[in-house]
A and B are shown apart, each in its own frame.
Chain A
Amino acid sequence: MDLTELFSQYPYLREGITAIVVIFVDICALTILIAAGRERRTGDRRWAKEGRGLMLMCGNEVYPLGAAELLIGRHPSADIHFYDDEISRFHALLTLQNGKWQIEDAGASNGVIVNGTRITKPHTLKRNDVIRIGKRELTVVKGSGKVVS
């Protein structure tokens, strides 16, 4: 069968096939994107592992630690922000490295107090540590169960 001949007989055959192939390729790309959405859950689980499942709690409010660097402060762009006058705009910085969460003073006027002591250098957080920022007390807790995001 000579295909070139076939194409010349049916002028729109090749166009049709091209369209089908291209649409298929894009369906493929779309599937990749859907798979990426599914990958998000994988990413969350991986992050839970990286962060050792730690979270902050203030009263009944849970503050997830969802990024490697988190800014606590009064400024609206802070990741964990409180509208208290005693809290500086950029109060404290939480960082995660090698599975350890550390807190450090980001230039707070009232200081960051962990377990009753004002910290001067980065302090590695453990479960049940209590961070005092202004009037607020944040407790380090470990989450459990299925990951929510």
Chain B
Amino acid sequence: MAENTTKSLSHPFLMLLILIAHAAMMLLVLLTFGLKAEVLRLACFVLAFDFIGSIVLQIVHREACTVDSVLLLVIGMSTIYQSCFGELEFALRHYLFGIGAFLICQLSYLLVRNPYRAEKLKPLWYILFFGLVGAIFFLTGERGIWIDLGFITIQPSEFVKPVFVLIAASSIRTQLHKRELFGLHFVPDNLMLIFCTAVIAGLQWWCRDLGSLPTFVAVAGCGLLLRFRYLREKMSVRLIIFLGACAVAAAIAAWTLAPAYVQERLHSDIWSDMSGTGYQQVKALTAIAEGGWFGKGAGNGSLVHVAASRTDIVFATISEEWGLFTALMTVILVLFLPAAILTVPPRSYYHSGLALGVAAVFMVQMTLNIFGSCNLIPFTGVTIPFISQGGSSMLSSGILAGFLKAAQAPVLTSPCAERRG
């Protein structure tokens, strides 16, 4: 009984805390802009989302509140950030996509919370995967990555990510299921994963958008490493050396064989071409430097006029207006999502794989975005989950967050079986 009270107490308390955190940020916005209708509008929408979201969660299910709470906190924060860039204008689209991400997170949770069912649906994931790959191949004109539907543009490669995570995860039963062909023992599932990785790598090459390739490679790598770890307690030194050598060889091959435009990015000095290829990074770095630790104040930034200020270099935009300290803290906040499985371990191999896959996606995306815009690594056009503007990225991140929630609160009993039992 005592435990029940802590449970019922902590949830509303957390939601209240999130509400206060957003209110404090809104106060800061208020202090900067003064009492304006737009400020009130932003405050109402953000706080209403917190309020309604928490009530919905309270009614639906109270379990695994870590992911949901962080999600509420992050979406509210990013809406405030996005609304204040340059000038105060409520970012309605971003807000709606944020709600969409929150809802789709619940849906994807319902879909994969039973690891058996999620894995049994793997043929469906393969179909989806190849469907999306086909869509990128055939529907995006000019070897691009966008599908223009007239009223909305979709970036299908974003949606490949959650599907790929579902493919990369595997259960121990699947790993024990070996086939033999020409005297070679192999696990069909592993071969499929390698095949899918090759397909996506080829596609990215074809699209001339190698930006999200590291994400897929990381997910596949994590999936394969976890598979090794399922059946092997300790890696032998030889295997580690072999894998290391493979990685180095692959890196060297990629480095030397990369197409010309990638080579150019790898070797160019942004400061020698400040108005050309290095334009965005130069602006981003200057903006961060001008912002300092505590920023110029919401709405006072100038980076908003630079292309991709709300997506690819959003870290710098936040840094300029709110300060580097805030920007770093926001990034760390997003880290709490994949970190959730450290407190509540998953209960099945498949969910373990999902959780690590999601962690890989989030971490690699943030690494590419932040370090790319700060010129520590080549600049690529990837997004920070939940912070960057962009519907496709927002929704696919929502789906991924749902996987994390599933790993936290698995349900192995289907409702009909419950009724029978």
Contacts and interface: CB of A to CB of B under 8 A. Distances in A.
Whether A and B touch directly in their complex, counting CB atoms under 8 A apart, is answered as yes
Interface of A: 2-4, 7, 14-15, 17-22, 24-26, 28-29, 31-33, 35-43, 45-47, 50, 66-69, 71, 75-77, 90, 93, 95-99, 106-107
A22 B295 CA distance: 12
Given A37-B343, A67-B348, A69-B349, A29 B73 contact: yes
A63 to B, nearest CB: 16
A93 B348 CA distance: 13
Given A21-B24, A39-B344, A68-B410, A99 B417 contact: yes
A28 to B, nearest CB: 4
A22 B329 contact: yes
Interface of B: 3, 6-7, 10, 14, 17-18, 20-21, 24-25, 27-28, 30-32, 34, 63-66, 69-70, 73, 77, 115-116, 171-173, 176, 229-234, 293-295, 297, 322-323, 325-326, 329, 332-333, 336, 339-340, 343-344, 346-349, 408-414, 417-418, 421
28 contacts: A4-B34, A7-B31, A7-B32, A15-B323, A17-B31, A18-B295, A19-B325, A21-B24, A21-B27, A24-B24, A25-B25, A25-B73, A37-B343, A38-B7, A38-B10, A39-B64, A39-B66, A39-B343, A39-B408, A42-B3, A47-B347, A50-B412, A68-B115, A68-B116, A68-B348, A77-B233, A95-B173, A98-B413
Contacts of B232: 77
A67 B348 CA distance: 5
Contacts of A14: 31-32, 294, 297
SS class, residues of chain A in contact with chain B: helix
Nearest to B294: A15
Nearest to A107: B176
A4 B33 CA distance: 8
A123 to B, nearest CB: 15
Contact of A22 (B18, B32, B66, B325): B325
Nearest to A90: B176
Given A29-B70, A29-B336, A97-B412, A21 B25 contact: yes
